[in-house]
Amino acid sequence: MLTLGAIVVDGVTYAAWLFLIGVGLTLVFGVLRILNIAHGAFYSFGAYAAAFGVGLGARMELSLLAQFMLAIGAALAIGVVLGFVVERCVLTRLYARKEALALLATYAVFLILEDFTKILWGPQSVYANGPRDALGQVPIGPLMYPLYDVLLVAAAALTGLAIWYVLYRTKTGFKVQAVVFDREVSSAMGIHVTRVMTATFVVGACLGTLAGALTAPKIAISPGIGVEVIVLAFAVVVIGGLGSISGAIVGACIVGIGRAAATHLLPQVELFVVYLAMAAVLTVRPLGLFARPEARKI
């Protein structure tokens, strides 16, 4: 019973994190049809920006909440800048070309940004653990959990809800959906497709930096944290189907619970349980659970 409880709580917190790192990737793919490897770099930039924000707040002797807000603000600001620059300078030239080439371009951007973080913040680890430590622990059943990790679930839910609201309840969201469905027809209907694409990419980049900023208090921020994230995020969103938001939620839950179960019951497979889950799902549904079927064109 104890293990079951632990599996559920661990699984849900891990799923929340997975959703946060995956949702930006899947949103961008849905609209731009580009798998953005640089998402991992956005994540690490967000984490570093959060460390910067927390550090700045601490030096200005702000309250912990204000420090945290500063961290999030810094991460979002850097997300807007990075997203805009990358989309306008790089991706916009590649829409007409092969998707593999665009993938390679985002990989190149990843490499560049990764070294940028080293130049800006040095090779050693930085920390932003103030807010998380201050929140302390909370009992869930017989187990103690860091309150921050539990709040992260709420943050992930809130993020998901916000995306859902914008996509399905606002006019902007309808435009985005139209672009996802068919670029050419939406452009014929008077939607400014390029603008929608730029905006989506900026939002996607912000989701990446936000995920980094929210994770920052939990980890030692060092060069290379983005690599694992991009591979994991891909595994998660591909389970649900690339481009599908609800798919990202389902994928995150499957992987989160799966990994928590493996950690507690069968620690040997923990390392690759994510990929096992991915392989299992893809064997049954080659394009993921919620992927839109595509017609064969000759």
Residue 118 engages other proteins in binding (rule: CB under 8 A): yes
- Residue 21 interacts with other proteins (CB under 8 A): yes or no: no
What part of residues 222-241 is at the interface with other proteins (CB under 8 A)?
A: 227, 231, 234-235, 238
Closest contact distance (angstroms) between CB of 234 and other proteins is: 5
Q: 204 to each of 70, 167, 168, 208, 221, how far by Cα in Å? A: 20, 13, 17, 6, 21
* Among 17, 71, 20, 79, residue whose Cα is nearest residue 49: 71
Q: Is 266 in the site for other proteins (CB under 8 A)?
A: no
Closest to other proteins by CB, 23 vs 156, is: 23
Angle of the 147-169 helix axis to the 245-265 helix axis, nearest 10: 160
Contact call for residues 206 and 79 (beta carbons, < 8 A):
yes
Reported as type and span, the H/E element at residue 291 is none
114 binds other proteins (CB under 8 A): yes
25/19 Cα distance (integer angstroms): 10
Question: Does 278 participate in binding other proteins (rule CB under 8 A)?
Answer: yes
Q: Does residue 9 bind other proteins (CB under 8 A)?
A: no
Residue from 85, 97, 136, 169 touching other proteins (CB under 8 A): that is 97
- Using only C-alpha atoms, what is the Rg of the chain? 19
Residues that bind other proteins (CB under 8 A): 35, 90, 93-94, 96-101, 103-105, 107-112, 114-116, 118-119, 123, 227, 231, 234-235, 238, 271-272, 275, 278-279, 282-283, 286-287, 296-298
